[in-house]
Amino acid sequence: MDKILVTRASMPPMEEYIEEIKDIWDSHWLTNMGCKHEELTSQLKEYLKVDYISLFSNGHMALELGLQALNLSGGEVITTPFTFASTTHAIVRNKLKPVFCDIREDDYTLDANKIEELVTDRTVAILPVHVYGNICQVEEIDRIAKKYGLKVVYDAAHAFGETYKGRGVGTLGDVSMFSFHATKVYNTIEGGGICYSDEDYGKKLFRLKNFGIRDEESVDGVGANAKMNEFSAAMGICNLRHVNEEIDHRKKVVERYRHNLSGVEGIRLNVIQSEVVSNYAYFPVFIDEQKFGATRNEVSEYLKRRNIFPRKYFYPLTNTFECYNGKFDVNTTPVALRVSKRILTLPLYADLDLNMVDQICDIITHIRKGEHNL
């Protein structure tokens, strides 16, 4: 059996992509905000229902420079350790201090009820993460931010195309970052975007991703190089044509998982949030070893021996990384620690055969019944 990976990049028909990039050979314009870049910017602005979006070479640079453009000037950022490395690194690389808040047991997002006790006179921002496409407690986060004069920067890497109460997720907070990495619901091969509503903020972003250049003869800031190239933008244009179909197929896979695994003792499925239109980005399962009869790690290793590769996502917590050794106390986020040791994301992509979903579920349920020798 071929390897069944936790995800697989969505790609348009090859002929469609070749047709899309043909005129690049006519223009010889490969980067620096060319026609494809501008076309994709316009299309994404409409699709995501946002005021403005700035495209980047990848999601991490979008988040890092998005933070920098806010001119937070040091201080503390309340955030979650239950996230990908990029979130925490973006804070630290801006010479800001992450202050880790625990997460909610049911949807794995930042626990808004625990934020306010972490606010100090050094707090400058809150950086929550929409985890697996589960949307944060945005109203409560907004209330706290307004009360203390804090910026809110959402890591929306998992939430492309989602809406909450009819609003595009990219409109939440002061800034929202999307990742367009190859493993995401929507990809530009590599890429990312920052959504915002302040036009002046957008000008700062532009300069930061383009060497600090103001115009042809003026460089009055120190910037990076984080521009999206034309080939990535062309892939984004093609994939955007198919993304709704992509999400529909992913929904079918998720529904099959839910049908097969609902009611299996010791397995808790991802919460279904009301008023959220999901993109079905991931399918995490929480494995309670006491009730299930096997640990998350044992289930993961057994599946791998069957050429099925789930992912312990997110594990380890970012506040336990070796690069931050001794700087943070993991015991301040006990829920996140417990979840990180028990969560497993199962394979999920648009063209995953439903018969394979059944096989994966059969293996898991047979482990529960003790019919597989671990």
Do the Cβ atoms of 207 and 225 come closer than 8 Å?
no
CA dist., res. 246 & res. 3, Å (int): 21
* Whether the predicted model's global pTM rises above the 0.85 cut: yes
Q: Where are the alpha helices (DSSP H) in the chain?
A: 14-27, 35-48, 59-68, 85-93, 138-148, 199-208, 230-261, 289-292, 296-305, 334-340, 354-368
**Element containing residue 287 per DSSP (H, E):** strand 283-287
The kind and range of the H/E element at 153 are: strand 151-155
CA distance 98 to 119: 12
pLDDT tens digits for range 80-134: 999 999 999 999 999 999 999 999 999 999 999 999 999 999 999 999 999 999 9
Residue the block writes with tokens 């996502």: 313
Rounded distance, CA 317 to CA 161, Å? Answer: 27
Cα→Cα distances 9→56, 185, 239, 255, 292, Å: 19, 8, 11, 20, 32
Q: Which domains does the chain have, with CATH numbers?
A: 4-238 (3.40.640.10), 243-368 (3.90.1150.10)
Contact 232, 189 (CB under 8 A): yes
> For each of the chain's 374 residues, which pLDDT tens digit applies?
789 999 999 999 999 999 999 999 999 999 999 999 999 999 999 999 999 999 999 999 999 999 999 999 889 999 999 999 999 999 999 999 999 999 999 999 999 999 999 999 999 999 999 999 999 999 999 999 999 999 999 999 999 999 999 999 999 999 999 999 999 999 999 999 999 999 999 999 999 999 999 988 999 999 999 999 999 999 999 999 999 999 999 999 999 999 999 999 999 999 999 999 999 999 999 999 999 999 999 999 999 999 999 999 999 999 999 999 999 999 999 999 999 999 999 999 999 999 999 999 999 999 987 766 66
Helix (H, G, I), strand (E, B) or coil at 215: strand
Length of the chain (residues): 374
Classified as helix, coil or strand, 61 is: helix
Three-state secondary structure call for residue 142: helix
